[in-house]
Amino acid sequence: MRRTQKDTEQSVRTITRRGLMLGGAMTAMVAALGVRMRYLQVDQADEFKLLAEENRINIRLIPPVRGVIYDRNGKILAQNEQNYRVSITREDAGDVDAVMRRLAALVPMTAEELDQTVSDLRKHSAFVPVVVKDRLSWDEFSKVAINAPALPGVAPEVGLSRLYPRDTDFAHVIGYVGPVSDKDLEGLEDPDPVLRLPKFQIGKIGVEKFMESDLRGEAGTKKIEVNHVGRVMRELERNEGQPGADILLTIDADLQNFAQARLGEESAAVVLMDVETGDLMCCASSPSFDPNLFVRGISYTDYAALTEHDHRPLANKAVSGAYPPGSTFKMVTALAALQAGSIQAGHRVRCPGYLEIGGRRFHCWSRGGHGTVSLTQSFEKSCDVFYYDVAQKVGIDKIAEMGKMLGLGIRHDLPMSAITEGNMPNKAWKQERHKQDWRIGDTINASIGQGYVLASPLQLAVMTARIASGKAVAPRLLRRVAGQEMPVAEAPPLEIAAEYLAAVRRGMHDVVNGDHGTAKGSRVVEPTMVFAGKSGTSQVRNITAAERARGVISNDQLPWNRRDHALFVGYAPYDNPRYAVAVVVEHGSGGSTAAAPIARDVILAALNKGLPPLEAYPKSQRGRIETMLKELPLRDPVTGAVPKAERA
């Protein structure tokens, strides 16, 4: 059908409107593109110029700042020091071997270090930076920075490294940090990504290990721009992580230093604790080692010297050493018998030098015997026969119950490594462990802390603190974490009659202060610091009947490692107990001669909050003590520095 003129005009008007609308839309789009192009080409020209040169944006983790560890008075025990280092990223380096050769020309590296770097680069993802060498000098660091354009993928950095300013004093308590190993990652379902960073260090032993989650903190991130040769051009964005928590210990750094110095080169340990709060004031093990060696990478020679030393410097004898407690255990036997009603406080026993049971003689340390002795005298003279008699009356199970009540045979919960449970045996234990019945001879041996009984210096200090206070005080090492005070639990009273505890304390008093006391040479004459305690000597070898017949070989005629262990436990002041102490000197021969003097000196230093006061010693000993104190290699109480002779 033929269209009319009117229809044709209407169609033309419609097409024209659509054309205008489309044209307007196209014009708007062109204008928008023009504005965008101007923004990209003019306003963002510098940034896109860099991107045009094949720059890339990388996101990297920022290791968190590790928390600082302090003593109870705020003295630094573990801190972080500035560390110049250089790292390499495989994906940015290109020819890694060529880059490493150029780097080695600037920074001296051993073949072992080069091989380790190559191994780390292969082990980790290509985008993960690997630390090639740390602890660079300023000159070495500067050389790398100046030659950065010729070292693609290499980045000179300023980081932090762990430092232990009091080195040997706290090696066993605080421990040290080291690189994360595969063993460290085992068992972690979702390990912190920062643990995957090559050469990132975590706590390996001691407080550093057991408080790792608090000390480590949380990693941050940084967004950096690198050019086509892997050189870092600039940092685009930085999100700081969360630094680790600072920790305050209960230990007094000056007292710890005094204890370490007083132990000298002995293979020994001393633990001193507050009898009310349980605060460990010192926890020293000798000989010690420098934990800084492990942080920096200990050499084979240095490590062999530590592992092959017969005094075992790597072992924390204060908490991991398990020793027969010898006569320091006699308080347990006495309290068990008193509490069970097996004996009364007035119980007396005749000691001819031995007790014969079933045709076998169990000897007292005094071959001629002690005559008839009371409970108090049995402590003062350390009569073994008295306890042989008492043990038969009360039995091993009651003795074991008392030992557990006083903290023996228990693993005390502290953030330190290898804390021993010791051993507080009973009939069921022997049947389960050795498939044998308990015998009367086992009870006799246990009554004087021999046989199967084992205890650490820490446990002996806890035992002494509980006897002195009459409370089930528990040891503690952490005083404050992240600014929060650690609560001191109220220690419940021991389920031991007060008069029985008093009777045992009187005996401990006479050990040090009585005319016949085995440790009277370590008495304290200052009335406000009177000392009470118990010496002990534990055998490490069997003495045969034939040897007894011809005369027991004296300790000084035996090789060092076959001599008896020397022990001493004590507390002071006697009338108002404040501190309890335990000392073990491996193969020290006699508790009263080797261990008691150390215990006295350490507890006097604690009471005096400094060096032991000379007026606390008997006049006849003051000259010798003064000379001894002057010769101790003690740190400066303000700077913490050691004497120059020691440093050398």
Tell me how many degrees the CA angle 139-143-144 measures, rounded to the nearest 5: 120
* Run of H or E including 461: helix 457-469
* Calpha distance 195→356 (Å, rounded): 64
For residue 492, list its beta bridge partners.
none
For residue 566, list its beta bridge partners.
537, 585
Tell me how many degrees the CA angle 250-256-258 measures, rounded to the nearest 5: 150
Other CB atoms within 10 A of residue 469 CB: 21
Determine whether 370 is exposed, middle or buried from the number of CB atoms within 10 Å of its CB (0-12, 13-18, 19+): buried
* Calpha distance 139→599 (Å, rounded): 50
* Calpha distance 160→5 (Å, rounded): 91
- The CA–CA distances, whole Å, from 393 to 128, 326, 440, 591 equal 70, 20, 11, 28
In contact, 258 and 611? CB cutoff 8 Å: yes
* Calpha distance 318→461 (Å, rounded): 10
Determine whether 265 is exposed, middle or buried from the number of CB atoms within 10 Å of its CB (0-12, 13-18, 19+): exposed
**Taking Cα atoms as reference points, which of 513, 519, 499 lies closest to residue 574?**
513
In contact, 525 and 618? CB cutoff 8 Å: yes
Is-catalytic flag, 181? no
Contacts of 612 (CB under 8 A, 6+ apart): 600, 601, 604, 605, 625, 629
**Taking Cα atoms as reference points, which of 606, 612, 563 lies closest to residue 585?**
563
Q: Residue 330 is encoded by which pair of tokens?
A: 């006699």
* Calpha distance 613→616 (Å, rounded): 6
Q: Residue 550 is encoded by which pair of tokens?
A: 């011809």
Q: Look at the alpha carbons of 503, 508, 510, 513 in this order and tell me if their dihedral is positive or negative.
A: negative
Three-state DSSP at 366 gives coil
Please give the single-letter amino acid code of residue 99: V
In contact, 412 and 366? CB cutoff 8 Å: no
* Calpha distance 492→405 (Å, rounded): 12
Q: Look at the alpha carbons of 387, 388, 392, 397 in this order and tell me if their dihedral is positive or negative.
A: positive
Residue 285 phi/psi, 5-degree rounding, is: -130, 135
* Calpha distance 3→149 (Å, rounded): 80
Other CB atoms within 10 A of residue 130 CB: 22
* Calpha distance 169→77 (Å, rounded): 9
Q: Are strands 247-249 and 69-70 parallel, antiparallel or unpaired?
A: parallel
Q: Which of 161, 267, 327, 456 is catalytic?
A: 327
Measured in residues, the chain has a length of 648
Place of tokens 């991107």: 51
Catalytically annotated residues: 327
